[in-house]
Chains A and B, each alone.
Chain A
């Protein structure tokens, strides 16, 4: 009975920013649990195709859709394509797509701030708004938004990114309250430092400093985040909404 609660067979999901890194791990994790997955990407078509291949290798259906989540028309269009491919039903939305334009506040350009907010915060709003109608009709749905540990701790050089990621947590709570009565849950997963192309490039000194701030003394893996997302997508999490799960090796507690 316990394991059956984690089963996503027959469910459909849309994961934004799923061509690489955490988003890819989430998309594959959902497929491993049994879901069909729409893979959104903005630039890396070849990488998205690999995610699709990995999902299909698991015997699940996958489609790839290029869209800039920060533009509501593009998100709406992507949702329409997803619904068309998956028989008019969407059970799970994972708002994962994000960008960085790091700089100190005094050096940060207005467009660096705006672009990050548009993709990382407005993109989440666009996603929630788009799926509300079909999920309300279904009277069920799972929305999982990816924030970041820096959204609660702050981070020098990332004012735009941190503002967006903190905003995602507030947005999650408001959406959770609005949609709870319709059987739709909205939760956040806040990853810590996860092994990725980005963290691979860090100089040894910076790596050591980061590790010293992580009680579990290692970087996270994309699969660590995928596990939390699969949980929140499943029946096992049906009594949770508006929450933030911190998957960060204990950085925030």
Chain B
């Protein structure tokens, strides 16, 4: 898809310790990638740093899949 997708993917792989093949756009952090709610919070913090943006708590709660994160970042940066 894009540069954003690759960067998100790299962070997700590092943070959640999952295989690259598992990190598809449809993959849900909690259901498919084994993240607990703290993992998701940390992921959001790391993405904020990586892309130099702020994801509000309200928005963060709505983001559940890798694809949604990518879309969010693309439309906010």
Residues on A facing B (Cβ under 8 Å): 133, 136-137, 178, 181-182
| CB of B18 closer than 8 Å to a CB of A | no
Contact pattern, B 12-56, Cβ under 8 Å of A = 1, otherwise 0: 000000000000000000000000001001100100000000000
The answer on a CB contact under 8 Å between B38 and A182 is yes
Complex CA gap A136/B43 in Å reads: 11
Q: Considering only CB atoms, which chain B residue lies closest to A133 in the complex?
A: B45
Least Cβ–Cβ distance between A131 and chain B, in angstroms: 13
The answer on a CB contact under 8 Å between B45 and A181 is no
Residues on B facing A (Cβ under 8 Å): 38, 41-42, 45
Contacts of A181 in B (CB 8 A): 38
Contacts of B42 in A (CB 8 A): 136, 182
Least Cβ–Cβ distance between B40 and chain A, in angstroms: 12
8 extra interchain contacts, Cβ-Cβ under 8 A, other than A136-B38, A137-B45?
A: A133-B45, A136-B41, A136-B42, A136-B45, A178-B38, A181-B38, A182-B38, A182-B42
Complex CA gap A181/B41 in Å reads: 13
Q: Considering only CB atoms, which chain B residue lies closest to A181 in the complex?
A: B38
Q: Considering only CB atoms, which chain A residue lies closest to B42 in the complex?
A: A136
Least Cβ–Cβ distance between B54 and chain A, in angstroms: 12
10 A–B contacts from the bound complex (CB under 8 Å): A133-B45, A136-B38, A136-B41, A136-B42, A136-B45, A137-B45, A178-B38, A181-B38, A182-B38, A182-B42
Contacts of B38 in A (CB 8 A): 136, 178, 181-182
Least Cβ–Cβ distance between B55 and chain A, in angstroms: 13
